[in-house]
Amino acid sequence: MEETQARRAVAAARSTARGLGLEVADTVVIYNSDRIAVRLIPCDVLARVAPQPCQDEFRFEAAVARRLAETGSPVGALEPLAGSRVYVEDGFALTLWRYYEPMGAIAPADYAEALIQLHNGLRQLDLAAPHISERITAWVAELENPEQNPDLAHADREFLSTALHRIRSAIGQPNAADQLLHGEPHPGNLLSTSSGPRFIDFHTCQRGPVEYDIAFLPEEAAARYPGVNQAMVQQFRALMWAGFTTMRWRARDQFPDRDLWRAEGFNRLRAALERA
């Protein structure tokens, strides 16, 4: 968010928390992109704030987290006073979560075990979510519409489109083994806490094979997830970078260090395609 909008978002988080009786003397922005995460001090609550049109995403995310917590899955907890409600303040939607003090690096074996536990919990949920094939179709459609990514060179557009078509053909169609997935369980969405690793950010939940989620893990952790098709993991790792790079070229994208990651995305995609 731009500075003025970010200040308003922080003020909305502060006002909402105080309205629930939480003590807020200071705030720290933990993350700022198209949405922000704000630590509220001293109540140690994390507010996730986005423009109001995102309230349906937030509602879905909070519902998934609440239901996963009921299964004992390793997920970040909602603030009890706020529950899974989505609050609206000054044109923003927001949810309130427990803040976890970082506890250091997560070992590859612990990362893999946390994802195994999460997948077990996700299998217990009966929730409507799009299939990963729909996400691929949406990325392809973006590339076919230069108005959405006007700065993307023609050769780069063709490269991304060809990569997505190639990967879609390689991974095939939906099948009975597909299940509900986190959607983006990369290291930024796994917290190291005093009670062990905990996943956050469930608005990207979708259906597909577990290999899709595993592709987001560091390679050392991915190798420790048993009984998976590692060749498919490599295909999905290429897909992950193709999708990531496509999103970085959106005209409205506000990802931190976007220009750096536009170039890095292409580098990572080329490397992943060579291994797939």
Query: CATH number, domain at 221?
Result: 3.90.1200.10
pLDDT at 175 over 90: no
Cis upstream peptide for 42 (omega within 30°): yes
* Confidence band for 241, pLDDT divided at 50, 70 and 90: very high
Q: What is the mean pLDDT of residues 40-59?
A: 95
Q: Do 15 and 34 fall into the same domain?
A: yes
CA distance 14 to 6: 12
Q: Do 69 and 115 fall into the same domain?
A: no
Residue 103 lies in a domain: no
Predicted pLDDT at 233: 94
In the chain, pLDDT over 70 holds for what percent of residues?
Answer: 100
Q: What is the dihedral of CA 42, 23, 83, 32, to 10 degrees?
A: -60
Better-predicted residue by pLDDT, 177 or 200: 200
Predicted pLDDT at 254: 84
Expressed as residue numbers, the domain containing 136 is: 108-275
Residue 194 lies in a domain: yes
> Which residue, of 98, 129, 145, is where some domain finishes?
98
Q: Are 9 and 49 in contact (CB under 8 A)?
A: yes
Q: Do 78 and 113 fall into the same domain?
A: no
* Residue that is written with structure tokens 């991974």 in the block: 171
* Span of 6-10, 174-178, 211-215 with lowest mean pLDDT: 174-178
Q: Do 154 and 248 fall into the same domain?
A: yes
Predicted pLDDT at 171: 80
**pTM of the entire structure?**
0.91
What's the half-sphere exposure (Cβ side, CA atoms, 13 Å) at 136?
25
Predicted pLDDT at 2: 85
Q: Do 247 and 122 fall into the same domain?
A: yes
* Residue that is written with structure tokens 């949810």 in the block: 95
* Confidence band for 247, pLDDT divided at 50, 70 and 90: very high
* Confidence band for 246, pLDDT divided at 50, 70 and 90: very high
CA distance 31 to 100: 14
Predicted pLDDT at 33: 83
Predicted pLDDT at 22: 97
- Amino acid letter, 16: T
Of 33, 68, 60, 65, give the one whose Cα is nearest residue 49.
Answer: 33
pLDDT at 103 over 90: no
> Which residue, of 51, 72, 98, is where some domain finishes?
98
Q: How far is CA 67 from the centre of its chain?
A: 18
Q: Do 208 and 269 fall into the same domain?
A: yes
pLDDT at 174 over 80: no
pLDDT at 172 over 90: no
Predicted pLDDT at 34: 82
Q: What is the mean pLDDT of residues 256-268?
A: 94
Q: What is the mean pLDDT of residues 55-77?
A: 95
Predicted pLDDT at 193: 93
Q: Do 266 and 130 fall into the same domain?
A: yes
Overall domain count for the chain? 2
Q: Do 118 and 201 fall into the same domain?
A: yes
Can you read off the two tokens belonging to residue 266? Answer: 């292409």
> Which residue, of 78, 98, 118, is where some domain finishes?
98
Q: What is the 3-state secondary structure (H, E, C) of 182-243?
A: CCCCCHHHEEEECCEEEECCCCCCEEECHHHHHCCCCHHHHCCCCCCCHHHHHHHHHHHHHH
Task: Cite the DSSP H helix spans in the chain.
Answer: 3-19, 55-70, 108-122, 132-143, 154-171, 210-214, 219-222, 230-248, 258-275
pLDDT at 60 over 90: yes
Predicted pLDDT at 31: 87
* Confidence band for 71, pLDDT divided at 50, 70 and 90: very high
**What rounded mean pLDDT belongs to the chain?**
94
CA distance 61 to 206: 12
